[in-house]
């Protein structure tokens, strides 16, 4: 369905995964302050690439395996204020890693995360939600191959897959540098994790982000994070 943000419009019709709060949080949180090149893995409707374009002057590559989603992303990007800075590539990230010589200063991804369980008969949605076409192994390998030496990557994941993700990550040279527990409502338990990854490692900065108060209004920290995007903030 159409989704309008302050500086651009998204039509996610036909995409396996519609625009979500997860994507908005990730796109607003990722640290792009020193990034001149950004890679969006699994761009879907293009929302993360467009948020990166709004927040930076970077050149952005948005890679998407699904043909329908790729076409949707191109339309959204062409209609945005930044079409000249975003290039959409229709292929899997493993193939892109093989053909490019570019190392990116920031990589952003809202990856598929369901490892098991029932799947919808809609192939695009199933692939967007389950690790059918992008496993954690392939994602981490691609980040390792495509990230610049001093670069960083930003991901959002459900808390319940953290153990599996970190187990896979431990076999790579990529380390967690920041971990943010995303709490949907104050005094509730975290449902999502924002992770920042890089080659440096060291101590992990632990933080939390509470999205809503008990009365369902946005918290001040959520407003501060997303006010440049949501129309009603």
Instruction: Please report the domains of the chain, with CATH numbers, ordered by start residue.
Output: 2-176 (3.40.50.150)
Per-residue pLDDT, averaged over 144-153, amounts to: 97
Q: What is the mean pLDDT of the chain?
A: 91
Separation of first and last alpha carbons in the chain:
21
Tokens matching residue 45: 């409707």
Task: Report the run of H or E that residue 220 belongs to, with start and end.
Answer: helix 220-226
User: Band of the pLDDT at 183, cuts 50, 70, 90?
Assistant: very high
Would you say residue 116 has pLDDT above 90? no
Buried b vs exposed e over 151-176: b needs ≥16 C-beta within 10 Å?
bbbbbbbeeebbeebeebbeeeebeb
pLDDT at 115: 53
User: What's the pLDDT at 122?
Assistant: 43
Provide the pLDDT for residue 2.
83
Helix H or strand E segment including 3: strand 2-4
């Amino acid at each position: 369905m159409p989704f309008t943000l302050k500086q651009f419009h998204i039509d996610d019709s036909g995409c396996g995964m519609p625009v979500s709060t997860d994507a908005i949080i990730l796109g607003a949180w990722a640290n792009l302050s020193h990034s001149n090149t950004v890679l969006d893995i699994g761009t879907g409707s293009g929302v993360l690439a467009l948020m990166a374009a709004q927040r930076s002057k970077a050149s952005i590559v948005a890679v998407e395996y699904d043909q329908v989603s790729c076409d949707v992303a191109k339309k959204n990007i062409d209609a945005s204020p930044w079409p000249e800075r975003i290039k959409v590539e229709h292929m899997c990230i493993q193939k892109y890693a093989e053909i490019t010589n570019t190392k990116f200063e920031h990589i952003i991804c809202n990856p598929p995360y369901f490892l098991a369980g029932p799947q919808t008969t809609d192939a695009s949605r199933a692939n967007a939600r389950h690790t059918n076409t992008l496993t954690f192994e392939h994602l981490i390998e691609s980040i390792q191959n495509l990230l610049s030496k001093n670069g960083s990557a930003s991901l959002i994941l459900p808390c319940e897959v953290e153990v599996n993700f970190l187990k896979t990550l431990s076999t790579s040279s990529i380390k967690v540098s920041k971990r943010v527990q995303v709490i949907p409502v104050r005094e509730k338990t975290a449902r999502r994790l924002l992770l920042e990854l890089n080659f440096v490692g060291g101590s992990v900065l632990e933080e939390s982000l509470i999205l809503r108060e008990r009365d369902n209004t946005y918290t001040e920290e959520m407003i501060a994070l997303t006010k440049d995007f949501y129309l009603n903030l």
